[in-house]
Every structure is written in structure tokens, then in C-alpha cells.
Amino acid sequence: MSYDRVALIGLGLIASSMFWAMKRAGMSAHVTGYARSVETRNVARDIGLCDTVCDDLISAVTDADLVVLCLPIGAMGPVMSEIGPYLKPGCTVSDVGSVKRAVIDAVQPHIAEGIHFVPAHPLAGTEHSGPKAGFAALFDSRWCLLTPNGADPVAVSALSVYWQALGAKVDDLDPDHHDLVLAVTSHAPHLIAYTMVGVADDLHRVTNSEVINYSATGFRDFTRIAASDPTMWRDVFLSNKDATLEILGRFTEELFALQRAIRTGDGDLLHDYFTRTRAIRRGIIDAGQDTDAPDFGRTKG
Ligand code: NAP
């Protein structure tokens, strides 16, 4: 089953990348789009993002076979409650939110009989946001995790085929397990990056211009992550509280252990620890999830 009409609600990085990837794949589906601000809708029209940009939510979702919520997590429940009564019977609703349990809790109550809800999370993004940030290759060879939560298998399989056509590899996960895994691989690392950049900003013995001019690659990578969208990340932490706090608790314990090793001069502990973490990096490269090029292939020092 493929979709004849797809509605993208929210026209930022993820929705625009989905649209360009659909066009690259030669999908014939008519794509409608909606964003809450007139500025974003005008930009979308200017750059040809979506076949039709609608000025209201209901027109965007009317007759859609697939509706994808590409919004900050906190906006998904309210938007779903508004569009719920207007969806075509048999329509699939999905989303791209970085947290799954909170999205299911917010969206599922507004899913009527005969509508399928298949939550999804493409593990792909950049620190840029907005309608101009998207590009067709964003999802290439990246995972898109579906958390079907008992949804109709035919609807799940159609969404899986759709994401594969956009370039992604697809897997199914339990929603709570998804949130724990992402707390480890994405949410806690983002919080640590935000903190490290905040520390550098607060440390008045090192000037801002020294931080900017002499930033070594580790810090530069933190600044890239810490430039991510504030609304999106506020919502991620508020909606994946338990898993993020659990991982941060473990992180703090390990940090204290390393702090102690430095203070007591325990070089063996530090060496063993760094050997173990180096092997994890090797595993990510071997799995094709990152480049092996030094400094991610950047040519400037
Ligand atoms: P984005 O570029 O900031 O775009 C967000 C869109 O949502 C904009 O069109 C915005 O409209 C609209 N919006 C914001 N608040 C709204 C509200 N209260 N009601 C209605 N519309 C609202 O965001 P994105 O990066 O595409 O992220 C969208 C979703 O994808 C998030 O749930 C995020 O967790 C998930 N995700 C993001 C990444 C990533 O790296 N960025 C990766 C994977 C998944 P206006 O422009 O009119 O304000």
C-alpha cells in the first residue's frame, strides 16, 4: 500500500527533508503542508516546499492517507486534538518526535476508531532548523525507529516501506525502551554538551574570544550540538525525564570515578577506561553510522 495524499504538519528541518526525499524517490503522492506562522508558510511557498501549503490545519489533513506530525513534542497533543475529528477513515497518523512514550500518551487519546497511529523517530538531524534547513539525503542509511504499540500491521508495514523509500533503514522498538536507548545515545549527550558550552561561557578567566578562537575539536563538537533548537530540546528533556535522569545519574557516578582517578594519579584506570570507549567508537564506524576520516573529514584545523 502506498499513500496518495500525505500531510506534513510543521514545516521545519525534518518535514522539509521528508518532502525533498519523497520527491527524490519519485513518489507521486500529493503533499500538503501546514506551519503555524505565516512567515514559515511563505518561505515554504517560495522554495517549493510541498505541493500545496495550507493556511489552516484542517485543510492540510482533509483526505490525507498519511498525516505526519513534524512538530515539537509539546505541540503534538494539542494539534492532534484539533485534527482528530477531520481525518479520513483508514488514515495513518505518524510523527517524528525524538521521545515516544510522551507522544503516544498525548496523541493516542485523540485517535478515533478506524484511524491508525504508528509513532516513528528518524535518527537523523542537524543543528539547523526551519523550512530551509532540509535536504533529501538527511535520512540516507540512518535508522527510522517505529514504536507501533499494537497498531494495525498493514499500516505499520506501509509506513516502513515509506521510510525505506526516503532512504532510511527501519526497525521496531518498544516505546519505553526507545526512550531509554535515546537517553543514552542522544538526550544525555546533548545535555552534557549544553552544560560544557555553558561552563566555558561562565568561566571568566578564559575569555569568550579565547574559547572561540582556540576551540579544540572536542569543544567545537560540543558547540555544534549545543546550537540545536532550544524548543525541541526543552521538550525532549521534559518529556523523557525518567530515562534522562537515570542516565545522568550514572554519568555523574562515572565522572566522579574519573575525577578521583585523576586526583589520585590512577593512570591505569584512565587508560583502561579510554581503551573501552575507543572500542565503542570503532563499533559505530564498523556499523556504517559515522565516517572513519580524522576529525570527521574536516579539512580546516
Ligand atoms: P523545526 O525545524 O524547529 O520545525 C518545527 C516546526 O513546528 C515549524 O514549522 C514550527 O512552525 C512548528 N511549530 C512549532 N511549535 C508549534 C506549535 N506550538 N504549534 C504548531 N506548530 C508548531 O523542528 P524539527 O527539527 O523539524 O523537529 C521536529 C520534530 O522532529 C521534533 O519533535 C523533534 O523532536 C523531531 N526530530 C528532530 C531532529 C533534529 O535533529 N532536528 C531529529 C529527529 C527528530 P513555525 O515555523 O511556524 O514556528
- Residue-wise pLDDT tens digits, 159-197: 999 999 999 999 999 999 999 999 999 999 999 999 999
Let me know if the fold of 5-173 is the same as that of 177-265: no
Residue-wise pLDDT for 82-139, tens only, equals 999 999 999 999 999 999 999 999 999 999 999 999 999 999 999 899 999 999 999 9
CA atoms in the 13 A half-sphere facing the CB of 41: 15
CATH topology of domain 177-265: 6-phosphogluconate dehydrogenase C-terminal fold (1.10.3660)
- DSSP letters along 171-220, please? EE--HHHHHHHHIIIIIHHHHHHHHHHHHHHH-TTS-HHHHHHT--HHHH
> What is the whole-number distance in angstroms between the Cα of residue 231 and the centre of ligand 1?
8
Q: Cα–Cα distance between 177 and 149 in angstroms, integer?
A: 12
pLDDT > 80? residue 288: yes
* pLDDT of res. 212: 75
User: Whose C-alpha lies nearest to ligand 1, atom 17?
Assistant: 75
- Taking domain 5-173, whether its CATH number is 3.40.50.720 is answered by yes
Mutation pick for ligand 1 pocket among 34, 68, 70, 186 (CB with most ligand atoms within 8 Å): 70
The DSSP H or E segment spanning 21 is helix 13-24
3-state secondary structure of 56: coil
Choosing from 8, 9, 13, 123 the residue with most ligand 1 atoms within 8 A of its CB, the one to mutate for a pocket test is: 13
pTM of the complete model: 0.92
Q: Which pLDDT score is estimated for 277?
A: 93
Please report the pLDDT score of residue 70 as a whole number.
98
Domain borders along the chain are 5-173, 177-265
Q: Note the pLDDT tens digit of each residue in 38-81.
A: 999 999 999 999 999 999 999 999 999 999 999 999 999 999 99
Please give the pLDDT value at position 137.
Answer: 98
Q: What is the pLDDT, as a whole number, of residue 193?
A: 93
User: How many helical (H) and strand (E) elements, i.e. helices and strands, does the chain have?
Assistant: 13, 9
| pLDDT, tens digit, 9 for 90 and up, residues 223-280 | 989 999 999 999 999 999 999 999 999 999 999 999 999 999 999 999 999 999 999 8
Q: What is the CA radius of gyration of the chain?
A: 21
Which of 121-125, 151-155, 209-213, 296-300 is least confident?
296-300
Q: Quick check: 301 pLDDT over 60?
A: no
Regarding beta strands 120-122 and 143-146, do their DSSP bridges make them parallel or antiparallel, or are they unpaired? antiparallel
Instruction: Go through 27-55 and write b for each residue having 16 or more CB atoms within 10 A of its CB, e for each that does not.
Output: bebbbbbbbeeeebbebbeeeebbeebbe
Q: pLDDT tens-digit profile of 200-223?
A: 888 777 777 777 777 777 888 889
35 lines ligand 1 (CB under 6 A): yes
> What's CA 136's distance to the chain center, in Å?
16
Q: Is the CB of 75 under 6 A from ligand 1?
A: yes
Q: pLDDT band at 300, cuts 50/70/90?
A: low
Q: Which residues contact 52 (CB under 8 A, 6 or more apart)?
A: 30, 31, 32, 33
pLDDT computed for residue 221 by the predictor = 86
Torsions phi, psi of 121, nearest 5? -145, 105
